[in-house]
Amino acid sequence: MELTVAERLTLVNTLANTQGNLVTLRVVSELQAELGFSDAEVKDFDLRQEGNGYRWRENAPSKDIPINDTALKVIKAEFKKKDTAGEITLQLLPLAERFL
C-alpha cells in the first residue's frame, strides 16, 4: 500500500499500544519496522523532530509498504477502537477512512 511520510508516522503511532497474542504482536512489530525510516530516507526527506511533531521535505515520495492480512486486521481493529472511543481526529480521518 502506498503511504506518505505522514501516513507512515501516523500508523506507527496508531499501532504503538497494540495488544494481542505473540503471533499478532510479531506481525505488528514487523509492520512497524517496514513503516520506519532508513537512514537514507531520514537524510533524503530531511526528516526531523520539532517540538511534539515531525517535519520533512514537502515533496518526499510515498513508499509501497506491504501489509499482510493479519496486519490489515490489526490496523482495522485499532481504528475501530479509536472510532468507538470517539478518538478519531481530523488529522487521523483520511487514513482511518482508508482502512475502515
Give residue limits of the domains in the chain. 2-99
Q: Cα–Cα distances in Å, from 13 out to 43, 56, 70?
A: 21, 17, 18
In the block, residue with C-alpha cell 485499532 = 78
pLDDT bucket at 81, cuts 50 / 70 / 90: very high
The pLDDT assigned to 65 comes to 96
pTM above 0.85, yes or no: yes
pLDDT bucket at 77, cuts 50 / 70 / 90: very high
The pLDDT assigned to 72 comes to 96
* Residue 61: DSSP 8-state: P
